Structure 1
Amino acid sequence: MREKEMVLEVNATLRNSNIRGPPPSEHSLRNLVVLMAQHKARERVRPEDVLECVKKHRLFPQAEASIRLRIPDIKKFLHLDIEGPNPYAAMAVILILSECVGDVQALVSLLSGCMSQTSITEYLSHMAMMLLALERNGIHISNRLHYNIYYVLHLLENGPFSVCSDQTGCPQVQLTREQQQILSHDIQPEHVVKIIAFAGTGKTTTLIKYAELRPHIRFLYVAFNSSVASEARRRFPSNVDCKTVHSLAYRDVGWRYKPKMTPNLYPFSINFALPAGRGGFVRAKVIATTLSAFMASADPTISTRHVPFDYVTHKGRRTVIDSENQQLFAQDAQTIWGKMTDINEKSKRAYYMTHDGYMKLWQLSKPKRRLSDQYDVIFLDEAQDCTPAIMDVLLSQRCGKILVGDPHQQIYTFRGAVNALTTASHTHIFYLTQSFRFGAEIAYVGATILKVCKGVQKILVGGKQEGGVCDEMANKALEAMRTGVSSARGKIGILSRCNSGVFKGAVQLTDANPNCRVHFIGGVENAGLDKIMDVYHLMTQENKNEKSRLIKDAIIRSFSMREDCAFLAFKKYVTQTDDKELDGKVIIVEKYQKRIPELVARLKGCSEVSLHEADFTVGTVHKAKGLEFDTVIINDDFAYIPTSGHNLSRVPDFSFSRIPADEWNLLYVAVTRARTSLVLTKNILRILTVAKEYFLTSRVSMEAGSAPLPCSISDCPNCITPGSAFTMSKQSFKCTDRVTSSGPLCEKCVWTRIGPTAFLMTDEVFSMADRPERLEPPIHYPFFMALFF
């Protein structure tokens, strides 16, 4: 049956079963349980045997009480001549109350004693389909309900199996069906194949096996990072050449500019190359941005389309650039580009050639057949980080292309990267969605971030590995971070959004334990400590000659020669050029003041070269991409969520779509670095609550006559309803930046958070008092929103 017809049929079932309104019914889950009680197994199954198995599940007492007290019609009209509740109804309530994938796996394990795997899969698929339909019809249920079942179905139906990868026919590796589909595709010269690979799903392994199965084909593996290319050379077979894209460009074009190479375009240098009357750091920043946009593009010449839409004024305000000034900026940028391409022009630093510059020249030289003359197939790794210039070269080759990457790990748009996995046309597309890195709980957090923040419908799953979120191992890692003492070397990664967060984290570790060993991702020499000292000297040193002697960075040193207000002038430059890196250094220096020399010396002394020998590893997500750790602690400097999901509608200025996608990608990358354990922040918890995941756990209600328990939500006047089928309670979590409270919730607060599950507990939800909500965004919330809007 076609998908549209299936959707129509499912929606008709929802309406006919009173599961879906309009308007949506508070009894939607009750009616779903009634519908599932009527499930017909195609294979003969004895209901009494099923019930005996289901009774052994830990959630059966809650399920039995809910059916008996809240849905008595099942017993009345769907009687199966057995003692006890309808087993299919009990299974439905258990699935609704399941807190994790493990609860669903436990049910499957119990049912395997009385039902075939086919019958179990049929029931789970039926339930998963109805839950997904409820979600997509706006019924306020947790995405956890469908995710748990989908995950188990994925493991049942897409489990790994042996694949022969050598000529003897002996099984060499365990590959998933998704991987096998890719390996079975024989690429042709006109093919452009996309592989959308979620975090940790074995994309490199898949490419290696693809090349091993085709020893007669010449492959080129293209990476962006030299360390990645080096590791690939070690792992790929001999019929694969592994190179960085810049090495290809340097071989053809870049070598000519070796005497005048510079790592980046600096507004400071561009300022001194501008015509009289058109200088200043603000204008220089616009021209630097224009040149960067042109070099990243596939365009042959600089035009106004490369000029940014707006710029930051001298007073720090954003101003739109009018058409006349766009033309002037484009002309100035073209003049500088012409000087950059002149091999002999070295009169000003602004005329030196950058790596992106010779990459652009390579693209403009139209190396159309150079690569396809040497290779039959090109592997492009991390395709989501390609610039249009790179894509223009690689897609023009007359050979097969395989683009591999994760569009949700695109975190370099500020460098002009585009998502080639979306923009480039393809002949074939494959997906890798099962991660080998982590288990169900970490996968759930990653999948929910993508769904809530970016609207992604494709579901990330993990394997059968044990592990969790804010679990006992996470608590031990937090205690290790608090004390600076770790017994698990090379196991704990502390990841931040910004360099200032990395510095702060390293200081906290060494404040707690001056002898701890800290590995800085990318090396301590690249952690920006010398620039922090330069900014410190600029701020504190009064003698300008001494300042000049102490400061190593040329741009910072140039401000030291001012007679007065050197530091304020430097801060003004940072603001006018919108230099995020230097701004982070200023924040650090102004926060720690006189402690800076001692802290920098201490961090250098505590640094450990080897990640595997370090007590802790710290770094930004940008540098941690491609790495993984047993435990990941996420810092609290990522995108800010002002409140929990049930209150978010009361913050009209907030919208997930208004925050740049890179910000959510950074959070997703951070989460998916964890193998076994993950420490969340309050902001990640708030994202989960938008998906109605509040980590509530069900308990059997207290005996009749017991004093009613008050609701644990602050200011809520309600108590747990006497005679409720079961109770729901919050769990306490230790997060990076807080410890969440725990305690029972009244049915009205359950309704507010996870909707119709409350009516599986009691009929009295709407007669209960409303909690007087008081919501005021934190004082820094408007500042955060101003960063993007």
Structure 2
Amino acid sequence: MEMAAKGKAKRRHLCAGECAELGQNLGGPLVQPFAAARSSLDPSRGLYPRSPSKRGRKGVENSSPQKPITQFFPVKGILSTSPQKAVKEEEPNREAELQEADDDPFAGLTESMFMDDEELAVKQEEFPGPFSVKQEGLPGSFSVKQEGLPGSFSVKQEGFPGSFSMEVRQGGTAGCSSWDYQPPPNPAGPVCVKVEKEDDDEYPVDPLPDAHYGLLGSRGGWAEPQGQLGDLPEEILRVLFGHLPAADLFRHVGLVCQRWRDIVCDPLFVPWKKLYYQYQREEPSAVQFVDSILEDNCITAREELCILNMVKYVSQFKHSRTVQPEEVLRCVREHPLFPAVHACLKHRLPELPEIQGGPNPWSAMALILILANGVKDVQDLVIRLRRSGCLQSPGGVSEYLCCVAVLLLAMRRHGIKMSSRCHYNVFYVLHLMENAPPPAVTAQSGLAIQVTHEQQQILNHDIEPGQIVKVMAFAGTGKTSTLVQYAQRRPHLRFLYVAFNKSTATEARGRFSRNVDCRTVHSMAFAAIGKRYQNLKKLSSNLRPFCVAWVLPKGMGGFVNAKVVTQTIGAFFASADRHITVDHVPQEYKNTNGQMKRPDHTEKQAFVYEAQKIWDRMTELTKTKETAYHMTHDGYLKLWQLQNPRLYNYDAIFIDEAQDCTPAVMDILLPQSCGKILVGDPHQQIYTFRGAVNALQEASHTHLYYLTQSFRFGSEISYIGATILWFFKGVTKMLVGGSQEGSVRGEEDPSEALGLGQARAHREGTVAILSRCNVTVFDQAVRLTSPTSPPKIHIVGGVENFGLKKILDIWVLMQPESDRIQKNLSIGDYFIRRFCSQSLGGYAGLKRYACNTEDRELEAKLAVVEKYGHRIPELVDRICSCSVSTPHSADYVLGTVHKAKGQEFDTVFITDDFAKVHCAGHTRQRLFGTARREDGSINVPEDEWNLLYVAVTRAKKKLVITKTIGNILTMAKEYFLRPVLTSALLGDGQPPCCSVQECHNRILEDSALTMCKVPIRYSDSAEAGGPLCVTCVEQRVGHMAYLIASPEQVKATPYTLERVEFPINVAMLMALF
């Protein structure tokens, strides 16, 4: 018998004979210790597991560092460490039946408890009896209970300041140790747990992490916190941090504590990932280091074999000691591109040492990334590497991808000629790997919502008064959805959501929670100012030069001067200025002769004087018949802005589509004392003709966030959008999409997709045809409704607002007066009807008015009437009869990009009336009439490229591009060339000819690879695919040609100058100059 050092506890050692005797007794084994009946005659008395109550020593309780936590989380029962089961409280009526166990001499230890896990598992199978452990001299006490296992296990550590007990139930270890032994089911009664009292005083202890460091999850039923992330060993932290984006490592992880900072700053910890992040930010040290790598390894534009030198450099990739290159090669062999890569390395880099009869795995993977047929090939490689587990070092696969990505990005910046798609593919996959969305969050509507890492950063920001937060969001990245969740997570705050138009505000009311007011800025201005003018019937939609011309004094009359005055008033309305000044007068305008004129200061002052007189008459609250003096919607908004309104009822303001706000709107919203969140896409600014400015760039901010991952489309469509932004606008922030597949090469015939050769029932989803101008929309409507069985069409914005009635009125005006009287033709529009008078000149006068006032909308309608002539009445009737009110019930959706902004469609056809790029990249030096700026863009207004970007990003699954978009991709060296084994093209032994029309070269028979162009069908034409000779490859993708043949072979092959077909107007200019 052995007495405890403190208290009345007694312990006795059992010999092997006593254990065997207890095992033969029916009441001896403690298979279900909590279900066994207890009495003074119980032979197992004293061997039952005990759960000592947690009681602090007198005088020490107040000094416990866990006191604030334990007060908030009071301990009411036994603490369970099972990650799968919660604490099980005892029932009150059962507690009376459980008797407190008396002290018993049978409380000893067996030698089996000192075995390791493996030995203990074997011992448990041989002898499923009770066992216990005694450890003396250790600083603390620790006890564990296990239910459902063949025995009980308890450990006592004395001298530790407090006690800690936990209960591990069956299945709690998730198969991670030898304690997962599952006994056969026992028919014993329900298990009850008793919190037993213990007389001896114990010190309180700090909560410990569970056996798995919380990696198996956490339970809300725990009474106390179960450890911290900082308790993890450094090796595990390195693995966890290796999966995080480099931006988070520098901005967040490295700022937590010195220990974490040391890990992040360790030069051996994910060095390529950190270098790639720093090089993208153009940090001088990173740029200098990468440039030295390129120079030292001859990876420069002046080296013809620069791409092969890059592949050779990657072969020296420093991997972890645990990585076996043989295993990596075995995994890479399974990739579809491996045969082509192996043949290329064997032919062009025979000096690279082989591994087990195969190429260097690091070089092979680098060449796969260069020759990849899109993001899908890169993802295929990553999936194979992850599945095999051959790269398990911190960072794993992403570390190698970052190594290749930083080299590809540096090569592009240094002018090495290769497709920009190479770097984009790797960047895209890295983004998906490091920014995978967390588990879905359930919204109030019950729908599961996944937020990206970028969205989570915004949702975590608590807006404060005076803050201005900018969210720069690309197309389809969930701008509005982020705001909806932001408001839902803060029900105690009151928000104002300001939309650009009424339809957006109406839709937002159905999405936002009740703590958000969804309004347009005009609706608020109307409630404060505009309704006064409406009551006086002095409110018009806009101010026309036609009306202004009638109130101008003699000498200032005419539609041209009226146009300048109208533009001056419009510029004042859009500005934040308090008064009309000469700065609001147009710098130049078109006179009656069609020539551009620049007014001098005196003329500008005259225009300002007339504009001020009209503005003064507009503000008067008196009735008038002169339409020129009627208040407009932008006019009462200007009056409201001049009153400096204050919105005190809101804690924060959401400003959606901030890129389209005018300075007047920003002058209303930004001075508010509450916080402001500006959300928008600066590249969707397409309303500068209305005086809009890019508030996302003009306004200062306190915080800046980005949303770059689109939920709308996949990599194919996102690459086109990113290329437009990069090449024409110099945007380095890249647009990425999701993992969904997409198509941009027109795998099906456009005529069939448009229902002209295929049953419309076979198409999936909505099909939209988007145009730049209304004239093209009308043309498409005429073409679609021509068959005997015309489809249903929907015109974006409604057929009523498209202007079909005005087109018909213009056609009526075009008819001779005698025909109008004879056929009883009437004109419904008041403005067009005014031109029936002889003084205004009829149809010719209307045409002069449109030209003098530069009314683009009216000019488009006149063009439609002149193009279709006498067919107008029939076509208008046909289009109206085929039109439906909703896009979901239509076979095709037609509209302009301005109207379709903010919408999305499964398939999008883009018409060829956008800004033109007439030549491919390798022939652009012969492009005439458009000058290239230093940033590589073509000298057209930025709005035009924004329109094309908006059109491209409306597609979700399929995008049918134009020849212009195809030429834009060639500017980035993307010609849709794919590697094919030359041996596969030698069908009859004779190498095929080059597929370029004017080229008569044949492909090299002794080359391992041949580049073949993929067939592409545009919305207005098609290009056949086929193999290309080495010189045609060199003209298009430069240095990539030397992956096929040596420089000597390329130079020995004749070059072909392709014939370029220009539009007639461009060809005439070339002939003149």
TM-aligned CA deviation for residue 48 of structure 1: 1.7
SS at match of 2:1023: coil
TM-aligned CA deviation for residue 87 of structure 1: 1.1
SS at match of 1:309: coil
SS at match of 1:667: helix
Equivalent residue, structure 2, for 1:225:
501
Equivalent residue, structure 1, for 2:974:
693
Q: Residues 184-263 of structure 1 correspond to what in structure 2 (within 5 A)?
A: 184-258=460-534, 259-263=537-541
Equivalent residue, structure 2, for 1:156:
433
Equivalent residue, structure 2, for 1:647:
923
2:653 equivalent among 359, 378, 385: 378
CA displacement 1:654-686 (0-9 Å, x = unmatched): 233421111111111111111111111111111
Equivalent residue, structure 1, for 2:228:
none
1:95 equivalent among 358, 363, 369: 369
Q: Residues 489-528 of structure 1 correspond to what in structure 2 (within 5 A)?
A: 491-528=766-803
TM-aligned CA deviation for residue 267 of structure 1: 1.1
Q: Distance in 2 between matches of 1:300 and 1:306?
A: 12
Equivalent residue, structure 2, for 1:665:
946
Equivalent residue, structure 1, for 2:961:
680
TM-aligned CA deviation for residue 57 of structure 1: 1.4
- The 1:264–1:761 alpha-carbon spacing in structure 2 relative to 1, beyond 3 Å, is same
Equivalent residue, structure 2, for 1:728:
1011
Q: Residues 52-201 of structure 1 correspond to what in structure 2 (within 5 A)?
A: 52-73=330-351, 75=352, 79=353, 81-112=355-386, 113-116=388-391, 118-162=395-439, 173-201=449-477
Equivalent residue, structure 2, for 1:613:
889
Q: Distance in 2 between matches of 1:548 and 1:138?
A: 69
Equivalent residue, structure 2, for 1:10:
290
Matching of residue 460 in structure 1 with residue 735 in structure 2: yes
Q: Residues 422-437 of structure 1 correspond to what in structure 2 (within 5 A)?
A: 422-437=697-712
TM-aligned CA deviation for residue 319 of structure 1: 2.2
Contact 1:544 1:560 in 2 (8 A): no
Equivalent residue, structure 1, for 2:548:
270
Contact 1:548 1:560 in 2 (8 A): no
Q: Provide TM-score, normalisation by structure 2.
A: 0.70
TM-aligned CA deviation for residue 316 of structure 1: 2.0
- The 1:521–1:782 alpha-carbon spacing in structure 2 relative to 1, beyond 3 Å, is farther
SS at match of 2:576: coil
Q: Distance in 2 between matches of 1:54 and 1:499?
A: 53
Tell which deviates more after alignment, 701-710 or 640-649: 701-710
Which residue identity lines up with residue 425 of structure 1 in the other structure?
A: S
Q: Distance in 2 between matches of 1:497 and 1:277?
A: 38
- The 1:309–1:194 alpha-carbon spacing in structure 2 relative to 1, beyond 3 Å, is same
- The 1:317–1:487 alpha-carbon spacing in structure 2 relative to 1, beyond 3 Å, is farther
Matching of residue 717 in structure 1 with residue 1000 in structure 2: yes
Matching of residue 708 in structure 1 with residue 991 in structure 2: yes
1:311 equivalent among 585, 589, 614: 589
CA displacement 1:318-366 (0-9 Å, x = unmatched): 2222222222212221111111112215242111111111111111111
Tell which deviates more after alignment, 473-482 or 271-280: 473-482
Q: Distance in 1 between matches of 2:897 and 2:686?
A: 9
- The 1:81–1:606 alpha-carbon spacing in structure 2 relative to 1, beyond 3 Å, is closer
Q: Distance in 2 between matches of 1:536 and 1:487?
A: 39
SS at match of 1:780: helix
SS at match of 2:552: coil
Contact 2:747 2:1016 in 1 (8 A): no
Which residue identity lines up with residue 480 of structure 2 in the other structure?
A: T
Equivalent residue, structure 1, for 2:100:
none
1:344 equivalent among 605, 614, 622: 622
Tell which deviates more after alignment, 81-90 or 435-444: 81-90
Matching of residue 49 in structure 1 with residue 49 in structure 2: no
1:604 equivalent among 880, 884, 893: 880
SS at match of 1:235: coil
Contact 1:482 1:512 in 2 (8 A): no
- The 1:476–1:515 alpha-carbon spacing in structure 2 relative to 1, beyond 3 Å, is closer
TM-aligned CA deviation for residue 119 of structure 1: 2.3
Contact 1:490 1:611 in 2 (8 A): no
TM-aligned CA deviation for residue 163 of structure 1: 6.2
2:1024 equivalent among 727, 733, 741: 741
Quick check: which one's helix share is greater?
1
- The 1:428–1:306 alpha-carbon spacing in structure 2 relative to 1, beyond 3 Å, is same
RMSD, aligned α-carbons: 2.2
SS at match of 1:550: coil
- The 1:428–1:481 alpha-carbon spacing in structure 2 relative to 1, beyond 3 Å, is farther
CA displacement 1:346-396 (0-9 Å, x = unmatched): 2421111111111111111111xx21x100100000000000000011000
CA displacement 1:443-497 (0-9 Å, x = unmatched): 1111111111211111111111122213446758634256794544761111111
Equivalent residue, structure 1, for 2:127:
none
SS at match of 1:111: helix
Which residue identity lines up with residue 1016 of structure 2 in the other structure?
A: F
Q: Distance in 2 between matches of 1:657 and 1:342?
A: 48
Q: Distance in 2 between matches of 1:44 and 1:242?
A: 58
TM-aligned CA deviation for residue 302 of structure 1: 0.8
Question: How many residues are treated as equivalent by the alignment?
Answer: 774
TM-aligned CA deviation for residue 282 of structure 1: 1.1
- The 1:669–1:339 alpha-carbon spacing in structure 2 relative to 1, beyond 3 Å, is same
Which residue identity lines up with residue 328 of structure 1 in the other structure?
A: A
Q: Distance in 1 between matches of 2:849 and 2:295?
A: 63
CA displacement 1:570-593 (0-9 Å, x = unmatched): 211111111111111111111111
Q: Distance in 2 between matches of 1:257 and 1:474?
A: 55
CA displacement 1:706-732 (0-9 Å, x = unmatched): 222211112123221221121111121
Q: Distance in 1 between matches of 2:752 and 2:486?
A: 39
Matching of residue 439 in structure 1 with residue 717 in structure 2: no
Equivalent residue, structure 1, for 2:898:
622
Equivalent residue, structure 1, for 2:1059:
774
TM-aligned CA deviation for residue 311 of structure 1: 0.9
Highest CA radius of gyration, 1 or 2?
2
Tell which deviates more after alignment, 498-507 or 655-664: 655-664
TM-aligned CA deviation for residue 782 of structure 1: 8.1
- The 1:197–1:142 alpha-carbon spacing in structure 2 relative to 1, beyond 3 Å, is same
Equivalent residue, structure 1, for 2:695:
420
Which residue identity lines up with residue 342 of structure 2 in the other structure?
A: E
SS at match of 2:755: helix
SS at match of 1:247: helix
Contact 1:522 1:623 in 2 (8 A): yes
SS at match of 1:396: coil
Contact 1:477 1:631 in 2 (8 A): no
- The 1:171–1:779 alpha-carbon spacing in structure 2 relative to 1, beyond 3 Å, is closer
SS at match of 2:1021: coil
Q: Distance in 2 between matches of 1:238 and 1:646?
A: 57
SS at match of 1:676: strand
Which residue identity lines up with residue 237 of structure 1 in the other structure?
A: S
Contact 2:753 2:763 in 1 (8 A): no
Contact 1:490 1:613 in 2 (8 A): no
Q: Provide TM-score, normalisation by structure 1.
A: 0.94
CA displacement 1:108-138 (0-9 Å, x = unmatched): 1222214336321111111111111111111
SS at match of 1:469: coil
Instruction: Flag the structure with more relative contact order, 1 or 2, with Cα contacts below 8 A and sequence separation at least 6.
Output: 1
